[in-house]
Amino acid sequence: MQTRKLGRNGPEVSALGLGCMGMSFAYGTTPDKKAMIKLLHQAIERGVTFFDTAEAYGPFTNEELLGEALAPLRDRLVIATKFGFKDGVANSGLDSRPEHIKAVADASLKRLRTNRIDLFYQHRVDPNVPIEDVAGAVKELIRSGKVRYFGLSEAGVESIRRAHAVQPVTALQSEYSLWWREPEQTVLPVMQELGIGFVPFSPLGRGFLTGAINDKTQFDSKDFRTNLPRFTAEARQANRAVVDLLERVASQKRATPAQIALAWLLAQKPWIVPIPGTTKLARLEENLGSTEIQLTAADLQEINEVAARIAVQGARYPEQLQRTVGR
């Protein structure tokens, strides 16, 4: 497995991490716990060293899963988790008061069965708490040895700069893929300037860019994609053009659309570390295969030129969720 340095001063991690949310949250029926522990071990065997979770995934059960699965191999791994929601529940509102951050850190350490959190993200910027206070609280956790690195998720440029001035931000996590390229406009240049690593979540468009989803796909009633405008049947039909592009390039490279989507991301910057999630070994192996694909300058130009002519249909989030992004 190839490795990458997460930002100028961050840890060295596998070129692809593993997003673990779907192992216990958000995509309908919860997978079997033993099967997910086995998958986590299989990921480590294949060289994955970077694992992403959050107290809100469950809530709490995803951290507990990782704690049970990863504790025996802890020193080989980089584990990222997140704080910032009231009671750890994503739809209960934001809470990044310093005392709450510290309480979440202690609780996450217990669930993860570890003595330190490698990367501690603020899950969403809390408009009621100055970002300087948030950064200051994490700075204290770093000084105490409970946290190694500070991260932000879905933060805007102003918040990033203000936080970074108090405690250097090691990584920003935000959605980024061929069908959501907004970070290129302002965020990525600031990452380059400040030496901050970038961790794209949903790098496969929540499964759409794999080609396995079409306008006829029926989602589980508990699958949160049923609430996303981009996943209406009409939007899925219109957005098939993105998958068609990936399939054309994949056929030339003897690869899959998912592998091309990930290889495209890896080719953007050497400090980008995508975290595709999966609950299946075959998909894990497929994703990891993307690190062996070399896209030439001509390949990248072709992808960018064709993608620029595709108008992706449907909002990324419902309006109330989008309001929490980019502050």
Q: Which of 70, 155, 165 is nearest to 121 (CA)?
A: 155
Per cent of the chain over pLDDT 90 is 94
Active site residue 57: yes
Identify the pLDDT of residue 202: 96
pLDDT band for position 113 (cuts 50, 70, 90): very high
Kindly tell me if the per-residue pLDDT of 232 is higher than 90.
yes
Distance CA(269)–CA(192), nearest Å, equals 9
The mean per-residue pLDDT over the stretch 1-15 comes to: 96
CATH number for 3-206+268-292 (one of 3.40.50.10470, 3.90.180.10, 3.40.50.2020, 3.20.20.100): it is: 3.20.20.100
Kindly tell me if the per-residue pLDDT of 26 is higher than 90.
no
Q: Write out 281-293 in H/E/C secondary structure.
A: HHHHHHHHHHHHC
pLDDT band for position 323 (cuts 50, 70, 90): confident
Kindly tell me if the per-residue pLDDT of 322 is higher than 90.
no
Identify the pLDDT of residue 28: 81
What torsion do the CA atoms of 116, 24, 96, 102 make, to the nearest 10 degrees?
A: -30
Identify the pLDDT of residue 299: 95
Identify the pLDDT of residue 305: 96
Query: Tell me: the pLDDT tens digits for 52-65?
Result: 999 999 999 999 99
Give the mean pLDDT of the chain: 96
User: What residue ranges do the domains of the chain occupy?
Assistant: 3-206+268-292
Query: Tell me: the pLDDT tens digits for 172-201?
Result: 999 999 999 999 999 999 999 999 999 999
Residue tagged active-site, from 27, 57, 121, 176: 57
